[in-house]
A = this chain, B = another copy of it.
């Protein structure tokens, strides 16, 4: 544990952390998850996503959509009509991810209050610690 350490622990941590990183990198953006959620109940069109997500720009919607498509998380179907119609649909892989995301959501909802309190307490103790008297 001193310095003859062959480096086992770091490797283990690394081996565990990497897959998580991969997921996170893929889902990290501000919008990926919301797109997955919005598309979870069936095929959805570009404009519908744009209105559903509220706050997303056309640019980011396009970019995020492309990345998700690239990773095989959703399919893009172009319907050859005169007002163009493109539909996006989650793949089974993405549906699995969506299911998994639910445990995250659950965690967030169970602890959001606690976390908010913790944060408030922390801020109260660290910012205005000058006026203790």
Give A residues with C-beta under 8 Å from B: 9-10, 13-14, 16-17, 19-24, 26-28, 30, 33-34, 37-38, 51-54, 69-73, 93, 96-97, 100-101, 103-112, 114-115, 117-119, 122-123
Contact = CB atoms under 8 A, between A and B. Distances in A.
B33 A24 contact: yes
Contacts of A109: 19
Contacts of A103: 100, 103
A100 B19 CA distance: 14
Copies of this chain present in the complex amount to: 2
A71 B116 CA distance: 7
A105 B22 CA distance: 9
B13 A53 contact: yes
A110 B112 CA distance: 30
Contacts of A37: 13, 16-17, 20
A118 B71 contact: yes
Given A23-B104, A100-B103, 8 more contacts: A10-B51, A20-B37, A23-B108, A28-B28, A71-B118, A72-B122, A96-B107, A96-B111
